[in-house]
A and B are shown apart, each in its own frame.
Chain A
Amino acid sequence: MKKSKLFILLILFPFHIFANDIEINVIIENCKSCHGQNYEGNNYIKSLKPLEKEEFISKMIKYVNSNNDHVMSRISKVLNKKDILKMADEIYEKIE
Chain B
Amino acid sequence: MKKLNNYRRNFLKNSSYFISSLLFSSIFKINTSYSKSKLKPRIIIVGFGIGGATCISYLLKFSKNFDIIVIEKNERIQTCPMSNLVIADIIPYSYISHDFDYMRLKNIKFLNSSVKTIYTSKKIIETEDSSKIDYDYLILSPGINFKNDIDGYNHKDRTIIPHCWNGTKDLFKFKKRLNDLEKKSTIIISAPDYPYRCPPAPYERASLLANFLKRKKKKFKILILDSKDSFTKKEIFLNEWRNYHKESIEWIPKSKGGKVTYFNKKENYVKTSNGSKFKADFINIIPNQKAADILTRSKLNGNKDWCDVNPMTFELKNFRNIFVVGDSIDAGDMPKSAFSANSQAKILATNLVNRIYEKDILSPVFLNTCYSFSSSKRAFSITSWYKLNKKKTRIVSLGSSTTKVDALSHQYYDETRQAYGWYENLVKTLYG
Q: Which residues of A contact B (CB under 8 A)?
A: 17-19, 21-23, 25-30, 32-37, 41-45, 69-71, 74-75, 77-78, 90, 94
Q: Among A17, A36, A77, point to the contact of B428 (Cβ < 8 A).
A: A36
Choose one: B343, B364, B365, B420; the contact of A33 (CB below 8 Å). B343
A23 to B421, CA, bound (A): 26
Known contacts A44-B420, A69-B401, A69-B403: does B362 contact A75 (CB below 8 Å)? no
Binding site for A on B (CB under 8 A): 23-25, 57, 339, 342-343, 346-347, 362-367, 369, 381, 383, 385, 387, 398, 401-404, 407, 411, 415, 417-418, 420-422, 424-426, 428-429
With A25-B23, A44-B418 in contact, is A71–B363 under 8 Å at CB? no
Which chain A residues border B366 with CB–CB below 8 Å? 30
Q: Is the CB of B429 within 8 A of A78?
A: no
Q: Would A27 and B425 be within 8 Å (CB), given that A19-B387, A74-B383, A78-B398 are in contact?
A: no
Given contacts A22-B387, A23-B362, A69-B401, contact A30 B421 (CB under 8 A): no
A-B pairs, top 7 by smallest CB distance, nearest first, are A44-B421, A45-B421, A30-B367, A25-B24, A44-B417, A74-B401, A69-B404
User: Which residues from A are CB-within-8-Å of B421?
Assistant: 34, 41-45
Q: Which residues of chain A are near B387, meaning CB under 8 Å?
A: 17-19, 22
Residues of A within 8 A of B383 (CB): 71, 74-75
How far does the alpha carbon of A44 sit from the alpha carbon of B424 in the complex, in Å? 9
- Whether the pair A19, B428 counts as a contact (CB closer than 8 A) is no
Distance (whole angstroms) from the CB of B326 to the closest CB of chain A: 14
User: Given the complex, which residues of B lie within 8 Å of A29, measured CB to CB?
Assistant: 24, 343, 346
**Residues of chain B contacted by A33 (CB below 8 angstroms):** 339, 342-343, 367, 369, 422, 425-426
**Nearest opposing residue in chain A for B58, CB measure:** A29
Assembled-state Cα–Cα distance A17/B388 (Å)? 11
The answer to whether B367 touches A36, judged by C-beta atoms less than 8 angstroms apart, is: no
Q: Return the chain A residue nearest B401 by Cβ.
A: A74
A90 to B401 CA separation, bound complex (whole angstroms): 27
A54 to B403, CA, bound (A): 28
Task: Give the residues in chain B near A37, CB-CB below 8 Å.
Answer: 57, 425, 429
B351 to chain A, nearest CB (A): 10
The answer to whether B363 touches A69 (Cβ under 8 A) is no
Cross-chain contact A27 with B369 (CB below 8 angstroms):
no
23 A-B pairs whose Cβ atoms sit less than 8 Å apart in the complex: A18-B385, A18-B387, A26-B347, A26-B364, A26-B365, A29-B346, A30-B365, A30-B367, A33-B343, A34-B425, A35-B425, A36-B425, A36-B428, A36-B429, A42-B428, A43-B420, A44-B417, A44-B418, A45-B421, A69-B404, A69-B411, A71-B415, A94-B25
